[in-house]
Structure 1
Amino acid sequence: MTTTDEPIYQVESLIAEDIDAYLDAHQHKTMLRFITCGSVDDGKSTLIGRMLYDSHMIFEDHLQALESDSKRVGTQGEAIDFALLVDGLAAEREQGITIDVAYRFFGTEKRKFIVADTPGHEQYTRNMVTGASTAELAVILIDARKGVLTQTRRHSFLAHLIGIRHIVLAVNKMDLVDYSKDRFEEIVAAYRDFADSIGIADFTAIPISGFLGDNITTHSPNTPWYTGTTLMNHLETVELDQTLDQARPFRMPVQRVTRPDLNFRGFAGTIANGIVKVGDSVRVLPSNKTSTVARIVTFDGDLEEAVVGQAVTLTLEDEIDCSRGDVLVLDSAPAEAADHFECHLVWMDDAEMLPGRPYWIKIGTTTVTAQFERPKYAINVNTMDHMAAKTLGLNAIGVVTFSTDRPVVFEPYTQSHDLGGFIVVDKMTNATVAAGMIHFALRRAKNVAWQALDIDRSHHARMKHQAPAVVWLTGLSGSGKSEVANELEVQLARMNRHTFLLDGDNIRHGLSKDLGFDDADRVENARRLAEVAKLMTDAGLIVIVSSISPFTAERRMARDLIADGEFVEVFVDLPLEEAEKRDTKGLYARARAGELTHFTGVNSPYEAPTAAEVRIDALTTSPKDAAAEIIARLIP
Structure 2
Amino acid sequence: MTVLLDAPAEKDTHVAGLLRLATAGSVDDGKSTLVGRLLYDTKSVLADQFEAVERTSRDRGLDQADLALLTDGLRSEREQGITIDVAYRYFATPQRRFILADTPGHVQYTRNMVTGASTAELAVILVDARKGLAEQTRRHTAVSALLRVPRVLLAVNKMDLVGFDKDRFHEIEAEFAAYATALGVQHHAALPVSALRGDNVVEPSADLAWYDGPTLLEYLESVPIEAEQRPDGRFPVQYVIRNQATDYRGYAGTVASGHLEVGDPIVVLPSGQRSTIAGIDLLGSPAGRAAAGQAATLLLTDELDVSRGDLIAPADAAPVAVQDVTATVCHLSERPLNVGDRVLLKHTTRTVKAIVKEISAKLDISDPLAAASADPAAGAEADEFDWDDDAPVTHSLHANDIGRVVLRTASPILLEPYASDRETGSFLLIDPASGDTLTAGMSGDPLGVFS
Q: Shorter-chain TM-score: which interval?
A: 0.7 to 0.9
How many angstroms apart in 2 are the aligned matches of 1:375 and 1:29? Answer: 40
> In structure 2, the residue corresponding to 1:419 is in which secondary structure?
coil
Contact 2:268–2:310 at 8 Å: present in 1 too? yes
Deviation at 1:126, TM superposition (A): 1.5
The 3-state SS of whatever aligns with 2:176 is helix
Q: Could you say which residue in structure 2 is the equivalent of 1:233?
A: 218
Give 1:412's aligned residue.
417
Tell me the equivalent position of 1:399.
404
Higher helix content, 1 or 2 = 1
Partners of 1:271 and 1:98 lie apart in 2 by 33
The residue correspondences of 1:465-480 to structure 2 (distance < 5 A) are none
Aligned residue in 2 for 1:421: 426
Matched AA of 1:395: N
**TM-aligned CA deviation for residue 417 of structure 1:** 2.1
Q: Which residue of 1 aligns with 2:197?
A: 212
2:19 corresponds to 1:35: no
Q: Report the counterpart of residue 437 of structure 1 in structure 2.
A: 442
Letter of the aligned partner of 1:436 in structure 2?
Answer: G
Determine what percentage of the aligned residue pairs are the same residue.
44
Displacement after TM superposition at 1:203 (Å)? 0.7
Post-superposition offset of 1:29: 7.0
- Mapping of residues 428-507 of structure 1, within 5 Å: 428-439=433-444
Once the two structures are superposed, what CA deviation does each residue of 1:10-35 show, in whole Å capped at 9, x if it has no partner?
xxxxxxxxxxxxx99xx987111111
Of 221, 226, 249, the match for 2:206: 221
Q: Give the alignment of 1:515-594 within 5 angstroms.
A: none
Corresponding position of 1:465: none
C-alpha deviation, 1:298, in angstroms: 3.2
- Partner residue, 2:52: 65
Distance 1:251 1:438 in 2: 16
Question: d(CA) in 2 for partners of 1:305 and 1:194?
Answer: 40
In 2: Cα distance, 1:335 partner to 1:360 partner: 21
Q: Deviations over 1:593-635 (max 9, x none)?
A: xxxxxxxxxxxxxxxxxxxxxxxxxxxxxxxxxxxxxxxxxxx
Larger Rg: 1
Residue matched to 1:248: 231
Matched position secondary structure for 2:397? coil
How far is the alpha carbon of 1:422 from its aligned partner?
0.6
1:48 and 1:235 mapped to 2: Cα distance? Answer: 13
Shift in Å, 1:440: 7.0
Preserved CA contact (<8 Å) 2:151 2:185: no
Unaligned runs of 5+ in 1: 1-22, 442-636
8 A contact 2:16–2:225 mirrored in 1: no
**Structure 1 residue 192 displacement after superposition:** 2.3
Residue 231 of structure 2 aligns with an amino acid whose one-letter code is R
**Contact 1:138/1:166, CA 8 A, preserved across alignment:** yes
Q: TM-score, length-normalised on structure 2?
A: 0.88
Counterparts of residues 46-445 of structure 1 (less than 5 Å): 46-75=33-62, 77=63, 79-241=64-226, 243-245=227-229, 247-261=230-244, 263-383=247-367, 384-387=385-388, 388-389=390-391, 390-439=395-444
C-alpha contact (below 8 Å) 1:363/1:418 kept by paired residues: no
Looking at structure 1, the residues matched to 218 and 166 of structure 2 have their Cα atoms a distance apart, in angstroms, of: 21
* 1:37 aligned partner, one-letter code: A
Distance in 2, matches of 1:195 and 1:377, equals 24
Query: Do the aligned partners of 2:254 and 2:292 also contact (CA within 8 Å) in 1?
Result: yes
- CA–CA separation in structure 2 for the residues paired with 1:85 and 1:440: 38
Q: Deviations over 1:426-449 (max 9, x none)?
A: 1122110110000179xxxxxxxx
Q: Give the letter aligned to residue 152 of structure 1.
A: T
Query: 1:189 Cα shift?
Result: 2.0
Tell me the CA shift for residue 64 of structure 1: 2.2
2:228/2:292 contact within 8 Å kept:
no
C-alpha distance after superposition, 1:470-526 (max 9, x if no partner): xxxxxxxxxxxxxxxxxxxxxxxxxxxxxxxxxxxxxxxxxxxxxxxxxxxxxxxxx
For 1:9-68, what per-residue CA distance to the aligned partner results, in whole angstroms no more than 9, with x for missing partners?
xxxxxxxxxxxxxx99xx987111111101111111101110111111123232222222
- Superposition deviation, residue 173 in structure 1: 0.5
Counterpart-to-counterpart distance in 2, 1:101 and 1:199: 26
Take 1:366 and 1:212, find their aligned partners in 2: how far apart are those partners?
Answer: 49
With over 3 angstroms needed to count, the CA separation of the structure-2 counterparts of 1:107 and 1:422, relative to structure 1, is same
Q: Which amino acid aligns with 2:189?
A: T
Instruction: Name the amino acid aligned to 1:371.
Output: I
**Higher RCO (Cα < 8 Å, 6 or more apart):** 2
TM-score with structure 1 length normalisation?
0.63
Q: Deviations over 1:61-101 (max 9, x none)?
A: 322222221222232x3x22110111111111111111111
Q: Write 1 or 2 for the structure with the bigger share of strand.
A: 2
Hey, what's the Cα distance between the residues in 2 that align with 1:69 and 1:236? Answer: 32
Cα contact 1:272–1:416 (8 A) shared by 2: no
Cα deviation, 1:213-272, whole Å, max 9, x if unaligned, reads 11112221111221112111111111113x133x52111011111112161211111011
Structure-2 change in CA distance of 1:61 and 1:29 (3 Å): farther
- In structure 2, stretches of 5+ residues that fail to align are 1-7, 368-384, 447-451
